[in-house]
Amino acid sequence: MPAASTTLRALAASIIASLTVTGCQTFDDAGVALGRADLVNDLAARMDRALEQTWAADYQLPGGRTASIAQTAKPLRSAYTWPDGKITVTQEAVTRCATAGRRTSCEVSPPVLTAGKPSVIVYTEARQHGQVTPPAVIRLLTDAALDTQATIEQSDTTLAGRHATCVDVTRAGQRFTACVTTEGVLASFTGALDGKPAEITLSRYTDTVEAASFDVPAGAGVVDRRRPETS
């Protein structure tokens, strides 16, 4: 089992365990705590399963900007695209692209696989560029489930033609709303990540992915660092 899957499932299990062994809770308090843990567990499980499947999603960002996520299970590969950059991770290479003005440059590096799951690298680097990622949302939900003062309200909605379960969370003076589709794809998020405002809304979802989703942008300059230097 991939390390990311094991981590997420263990995290959800630990939440339930910690909430059920607290002896000072009343029956009603325990019921509320268990409800929060069950909800987190369900959303985490959906996202976890989605990390091992093939799908593509387009997102709307504030100011009319767009972003996208694409991944396939066979072959294993992932790509995140945001307004001024893109990172693609496959079993052959890691390709990082950045756009400045009208110029896009890409650097291809040797592959770095984490327990055979390249998407782990995608999540880390995409988040550094302000992209909302499933693990970041799961972390927020986990913190909320462990906070007995947190308020979590559930609702349902439809985004890009997909049914989604939403949670509105208020805790420690902070508030965020997250929605996850039945397929486990992040449908929307509004709140703050790493202290910065973040907002993303699903605009298109498909369970088929075009091979071109993992190509470098058209017209980009490419430097391939995988090639050995020759004298």
Model confidence pLDDT, tens digit, residues 38-52: 776 788 778 778 878
Q: Does the reported pTM lie above 0.85?
A: no
Domain boundaries along the sequence of the chain: 3-224
Q: How confident is the model at residue 13 (pLDDT cuts 50, 70, 90)?
A: very low
Quick one: average pLDDT of 77-103?
90
pLDDT number for residue 182: 94
Phi, psi of 157 (to 5 degrees): -155, 175
Sign of CA dihedral 22, 24, 27, 31: negative
pLDDT number for residue 148: 78
Query: How much of the chain, in percent, has pLDDT values that exceed 70?
Result: 78
pLDDT number for residue 37: 64
Q: Which CATH architecture has domain 3-224?
A: Clam (2.50)
**Is pLDDT at 24 greater than 60 in this prediction?**
no
Query: How much of the chain, in percent, has pLDDT values that exceed 90?
Result: 40
pLDDT tens-digit series, residues 152-199: 889 999 999 999 999 998 888 889 999 999 999 999 999 998 888 999
